Amino acid sequence: MGKRISEERLAAYRRDGYVAPLRAVDAAQAASWLAEVRRCCGEAARPASEAGLRQPSTRVKPYLLFPWAAALVRHPAILDAVEDVIGPDILVFHTTLWWKPARSEGFVPWHQDATYFGLAPHEHVTAWLALTPSTEESGCVSILPGSHRHGQLPHSDRKDPRVMLSRGQTVALAPEAAETVPIPLAPGEFSLHDTLVLHASAPNRAAEDRIGLGISYIPTRVRHVGTTRLSASLVRGEDRYGHFDLEPAPRGEADAAARATHADSLDRFWLASESIPEMSLAH
């Protein structure tokens, strides 16, 4: 038995590339984080241009701006599960707030997270934490079990304003629907998925927003393959490698220091995402 995940479920994670559901917090704590998300990250929806997508946004890496989000990505229930998968020395590399408004057309095409992160080795794990009910009707994440075992697959950019990924990354060959598995989650529950597992999500057809956070955790031994030196947040254990500049947690809410850290971290991230050798090969 790991800290949080049984041997059986861990074996299923290795075989299928995901595990769900796991409980992070109770419904009351999830509701409290949801209120913070609505208060702090409710800025207007998707910008019209691709350049706009890369402006500092409170929906990307909010843990560098808001103490509540810094606590969220450090929550012991999530970190214990992540530790079972990648070991005790853990960095947060990235986080995206996935906010699908009620009855909206936005969707996420089939993709592997590894395609645009440029991390090696492929040990990155994403924790997807639901703050509202994430159901098939509201466009929950679906997975193609076992697809992580095929390694990095070719993707191309899909220029469609409804696509919610920064580059529109879409795998060349979409899986058959019958082989895929939806991952419904209740508020406060989360899933873990492997950086190479194919996943996607459909538009939100429900009468309520679907809101969750995709938190990217890596062990400190993982490095970035690009030439831009990136930053990351040490959230558990020790960093004996120094592959990333370590980011300070925000002390005040979106104060000047936090905004500077956030802007710097995102600038480097976008710059790197344009110059990763693996990515140009895959695209």
Name the residues that contact ligand AKG, by CB under 6 A: 98, 108, 113, 126, 128, 141, 199, 201, 212, 214
106 vs 250, beta carbon nearer ligand AKG: 106
CB of 167 to ligand AKG, least distance (A): 13
The DSSP string of 59-102 is: TBSGGGT-HHHHHHHT-HHHHHHHHHHH-S-EEEEEEEEEEE-T
Beta bridge partners of 96: 60, 214
CB of 140 to ligand AKG, least distance (A): 7
224 vs 258, beta carbon nearer ligand AKG: 224
C-beta separation of 198 from 115 below 8 A:
no
212 vs 226, beta carbon nearer ligand AKG: 212
CB of 201 to ligand AKG, least distance (A): 3
CB of 191 to ligand AKG, least distance (A): 9
C-beta separation of 112 from 124 below 8 A:
no
d(CA 194, CA 145): 10
The residue assigned the tokens 């409710």 is 42
90 vs 165, beta carbon nearer ligand AKG: 165
Residue 277 three-state SS? helix
CB of 212 to ligand AKG, least distance (A): 6
Both tokens assigned to 279: 């990515």
CB of 86 to ligand AKG, least distance (A): 16
134 vs 258, beta carbon nearer ligand AKG: 134
Cβ-count burial 259-280 (b if 16+ within 10 Å, e if not): eebbeebbebbbebbeebebbe
CB of 205 to ligand AKG, least distance (A): 13
Q: Residue 232 phi/psi, 5° resolution?
A: -155, 165
Distance of CA 37 to the CA centre of its chain: 16
Query: Which residue has its beta carbon closest to ligand AKG?
Result: 214
214 vs 250, beta carbon nearer ligand AKG: 214
C-beta separation of 162 from 103 below 8 A:
no
Task: End-to-end CA distance of the chain: give it in Å, rounded.
Answer: 40
C-beta separation of 158 from 168 below 8 A:
yes
